[in-house]
Structures are given as C-alpha cells and as structure tokens.
Structure 1
Amino acid sequence: MASSRDRQRKLARAKLDRQMARRAAATKRRRQIRAGVGTTLVLLLVVAGSAWALGAFDSEPTDTSAADETCLWTPQNTQGNSNLKDVGEPATTGLPVTGIRTMTVVTNQGSPITVELDLAGAPCAAASITHLASQSFYDNTKCHEIRPEGAVRCGDPSGTGLGGPTYTFYSENVPTAPEASPEASPAPDAAPTYPKGTVAMISNPPGANGSQFLIFFKDHTPTEDPQYPIIGRVTEGLDVVEKIGALPTVDNGAGEKVKPEKDDVVIQSLTVGEPVLDPASPADPAPTGTPSPEASGAPEASASAG
C-alpha cells in the first residue's frame, strides 16, 4: 500500500500535469487567434506606421507589468496535508515582469538579509512571495534545515518540509546542466550552477512550488540535472547566511543531518518592496556580506496582496 507521502507526490504530479496541459491549451488558442487576425494586423500596422510618421503618438511611460495571464496557481488538496495554510492566491494578471523587488528577511541571527527578486526571470515566484509576505505568512517561522549542498531552507511554517500555501506554481528559471567536457569532467574555472548568495525555490516534487526557498551560503553545482529554480540573489547580509550555515546540525528524524542542533533560526519578518527597474550598477555584482546602513534599519513595508 502506497505511503501518505507517495500519494501526496502523485497528487502533486497530477496537478502539475494539469497545469502544464492548461498552459499548452492557452498557447494553442493564442496561436489560433494570431493566425486568424494576421491580415487585419498587417493593415493596422500600415495605418499605425502612417500615423506615427505624422507624429500622432506621444511618448508614454514604459509599462512594466503584463496584462495577459502571467501565472497559474494550482489549488492543493488540504485534506491530505494539514500542514498547508490558506491565505488566498496571488493575482494572475497585471504582474510586474521587469526589474526587481527587494525582499528583506529579518532573523534572530543578526542583521537583515536583503534579496533582489528577479521579476523578469521568475515573475510568478516573486508574485507568490509578495502575496505571502503581505499576509505575514513567513513571520515567526523557522528555517528548519541547513542543507548539505550549502543552503539554508526556509519558508515552511510547519517546519516539516511539507508545508506551504494551498496552491502551487510551476518552476521558472531552472538553470541548465553544464555540458560535459571531452575529459568528462567540468573545467576547473567553470562557474557554479548556484553561486553563493543565490536564492532559489525548493519543492517536493520538483516543479510544484509553494513557499519554501533556499539561500545558498556556498557555491553549489549538482551532480545531476538542476532542480531548483533561481528567483534572486542576496545583496546584503550574506555574512548572516554564512553564520547560519555554520551552525551544527542533528538528524531531523528522517535520516538527514540537517536540523539546527541548538539555536532555532527564526524569520521574525519577511517583507517585499515595490517593483523597480534594475538600478544602474555594474552587471551582476558579487553579493556582499556587510549590511548597509539602510539594511540595519526598519524593514520595508510589505507589498499589498497580488
């Protein structure tokens, strides 16, 4: 007889398959619509081009949100998992898809940890975390694991690894596995798949994301295909993440030595700021472990739901 966890995995996989089928159907409908109005669009482009040449259009601010349906949220069956917490669902349209949101994580381990959420690469993850933060979902919850791959696992109010909201969403921005070299070994200077400071979602099964995330305190390149979708990076407070990563661990009761032994790692508050365009700064600066004066003050106000 299948275990409860096996049944949960099968249910989650079935829901994920339905979600992908709906996405495929929506894509097919969009293609059919585009094909049917192709001739009209050509005519409209000719007219619009003439109007533009005559100066009929004034410049307007760039819209950084998507009017079309950007994300799909798959409901979870709460009857089989009492660890889920119902706080509603984020919006599916009008979500920002350009720039960043600043996530501020205040723990009991030191200065705040500041993260830039990537709205272009992971708009649904950013929308979900923003919604959950607006509902105080993460406040006073534990980072219940220090993973052997070099990451702190947070975002499960139940502390069991099975908790989360009553919806899931599909993975975005999953890195590709590095190509094998002719010598069947990675180049010594190859960049890690998950550099130190990377923030990524984690779910069981992979692809059925909810609220749980990883913050890497050291570089990590998996030996198999990557499964964690990257959603952002630490910009301030990496030294705090490294301090948490150095805490001694004990068996969590499931055969993994990942539970903090003595000191609970508690998220006292998690807030998300408003979306902003990427700041004018050097491309991909290395995360820093020294908090800024702003990071040591009051955290940003939480964004509104959806």
Structure 2
Amino acid sequence: MRLLTSLILAAALLATPALVTPTLAQQPPPAAKPLDPLNTLVIELRTGKVMIQLRPDLAPKHVERVKQLAKEKFYDGTVWHRVIPGFMAQGGDPTGTGTGGSKYGNVKAEFTPTQFERGTVGAARSQSPDSANSQFFICFTHTPSLNGNYTVWGRVVDGMQFVDQIAKGEPPANPDKIIKAYILADAQAAPAGTAPAGAAPAQKK
C-alpha cells in the first residue's frame, strides 16, 4: 500500500507544472541611475560624446573649479597633450605643453581612498600635492599606483570607447582636441540651436 501511495504521489508531482524561480541571468538588469545634469560634464570629441559623472562628494573644490572652467568654455579647443596607452589620457592645458593652467589659483589636494579604475577622472598636478589647476586625466585601466596620491573628481559613465580612440603620444604627433566641454544642465537650459555657455600624474611602474 505504501508503495502504491508513493507511486501515486510521484505521478502527481510529474504531472504538476514546475514552479520556476528566475535565475540572475533571467532577471532584467537594474535600471541605470539617471544622470544629475548639474553634476555631469560632457566632453565632445571628434569620435563622440563622453559623459563624466562629477563627484562633489569626493572633491568639492575640484568639481567647483571644473564647473567654473566649463562654463567659461576654457576647455574648448584644448588638446590631449599626453596620452599613454595602458595608462591615461591627459588634457586641460590651454598651452598644450603640460605646463599651463587657468588664471585662477591652484586647488588644494582632496585625496580620498577612492580607487583609480578604468574611466576614473583625476586632477593632474606637479610634485606639490596642492598644485592642481585645470589639467586632468582619464585612466584607461586600473592604476593602483595613483591611489591616495591624486584627487579623484569624476568617472566616465558613457563614451569610454571614444576616450580609447584619443591619439596616443607624449605629445601625440597629431593630438586630438576637446571640441567642447560643458555641464549637461547648461546644455539643457540653452535655447534650441544655441551652444551652451560654457600637470601630470606619475606614470605607473
């Protein structure tokens, strides 16, 4: 009798549709966090637009400087003067030599434990920790040698493939330019058809 009961239960289970629990692969990816227009820097390159999430929570003074310069169109037309494969692309110097900066004073270091990963944007400087001004760099890859030694003020959230295509060299023979750099909120506020107003990390060993 017990055997018959077991067979009946087994048959019933086989006849019942299975309850499927979705696997992680079947679940839809989480929705991307919307960009904060007030803290998004857009850099237009010949190949496309690069979207950078600014991090005032990490480096408020540096972000304030970047916003100020972007609003003044300071970065427009400047070149990427130092681009090292497997390391970083550096720009933000109006002279294109790696020695220039803005008319404003230098910004004091705002070092944090934040890791320098692919797409991390940091403030370039000379030997003094407090010598950052207008120059910045975007990491091509994880670069732990920079951790705690340079200020992180942003992260590329879209368009990193265009950063990868920036002409390489120290300096490049034919350097790429920043066509425009502006804060996303300024572009959204501008009337249709109008344009928005708008030193080096040590090489890794």
TM-score with structure 1 length normalisation?
0.46
Q: Deviations over 1:213-249 (max 9, x none)?
A: 0111111111x764211001001100011122xx443
2:69 to 109, 117, 132: 132
Provide the C-alpha distance between the structure 1 equivalents of 2:87 and 2:42, rounded to a whole number of angstroms.
Answer: 21
4+ residue stretches of structure 1 with deviation over 4 A? none
Provide the C-alpha distance between the structure 1 equivalents of 2:123 and 2:109, rounded to a whole number of angstroms.
Answer: 8
Provide the C-alpha distance between the structure 2 equivalents of 1:218 and 1:225, rounded to a whole number of angstroms.
Answer: 13
Amino acid at match of 1:114: M
Provide the C-alpha distance between the structure 1 equivalents of 2:132 and 2:141, rounded to a whole number of angstroms.
Answer: 23
1:151 to 88, 99, 108: 88
1:260 to 168, 172, 180: 172
Name 2:106's counterpart in structure 1: 168
Deviation at 1:175, TM superposition (A): 3.0
2:159 to 230, 237, 242: 237
1:301 to 176, 181, 196: 196
Provide the C-alpha distance between the structure 1 equivalents of 2:150 and 2:165, rounded to a whole number of angstroms.
Answer: 22
Report if the CA contact (8 A) 1:271-1:299 is conserved: no
TM-score with structure 2 length normalisation?
0.67
SS of 1:115's equivalent in the other structure is strand
Kindly report the root-mean-square deviation, in angstroms, between the aligned alpha carbons of the 2 structures. 2.6
- Could you say if the C-alpha distance between residues 302 and 102 of structure 1 is closer, same or farther in structure 2, counting changes exceeding 3 Å? farther
Where does the alignment leave 5 or more consecutive residues of structure 2 unmatched? 1-35, 187-192, 199-205
**Residue 11 of structure 2 corresponds to residue 116 of structure 1:** no
Report if the CA contact (8 A) 2:38-2:184 is conserved: no
Name 1:206's counterpart in structure 2: 129
Report if the CA contact (8 A) 2:86-2:140 is conserved: no
SS of 2:165's equivalent in the other structure is helix
1:105 to 39, 43, 48: 43
Deviation at 1:147, TM superposition (A): 3.3
Deviation at 1:274, TM superposition (A): 4.0
- Ranked by relative contact order (alpha carbons within 8 Å, sequence separation 6 or more), the top structure is 2
Select the structure of larger CA radius of gyration: 2
Report if the CA contact (8 A) 1:104-1:299 is conserved: no
Deviation at 1:100, TM superposition (A): 6.2
Provide the C-alpha distance between the structure 2 equivalents of 1:149 and 1:228, rounded to a whole number of angstroms.
Answer: 18
Aligned positions, number: 155
Amino acid at match of 1:265: D
